[in-house]
Amino acid sequence: EIVMTQSPDTLSVSPGEGATLSCRATQSVSSNLAWYQQKRGQAPRLLIYAASTRATGIPARFSGSGSGTEFTLSISSLQSEDFAVYYCQQYNNWPALTFGGGTKVEIK
């Protein structure tokens, strides 16, 4: 099983500032990596797939990078609606998908 590890667990950010979230895989997942945003009481929403491709309707302030085992989700100039939990997920080992433990982005 490919284990996904996210860091940090919690990130405190002021509105308008940027944020960088990390995700590491225990073995290479190539670029088969997605990021999801989940707000309390809601279903996850796809943000990024193929490591760096924004999903339909996702604002340009969200960007993804990386390949192999190291990945990053960057959010520039956080808006109030961006405070949520973010999960990375690999789909290289299809269809046994695995998710990271999540990073909570909270208001500082």
Partner 1 sequence: QVQLVESGGGVVQTGGSLRLSCVTSGFSFSTYAMHWVRHAPGKGLEWVSYIWSEETDKFYADSVKGRFTISRDNSKNTLYLQMNSLRAEDTAVYYCVRSGSSRQLDYWGQGTLVSVSS
Q: Please report, as ranges, the residues that interact with partner 1 according to CB under 8 A.
A: 32, 34, 36, 38, 42-46, 49-50, 53, 55, 87, 89, 91, 94-102
Nearer to partner 1, 17 or 55 (CB): 55
Nearer to partner 1, 17 or 106 (CB): 106
Beta-sheet strands, E only, within the chain: 4-7, 10-13, 19-25, 33-38, 45-49, 53-54, 62-67, 70-75, 85-90, 98-99, 103-107
Nearer to partner 1, 6 or 69 (CB): 6
In whole angstroms, the minimum distance from the beta carbon of 43 to partner 1 comes to 4
Return d(Cα 22, Cα 20) in angstroms, integer: 7
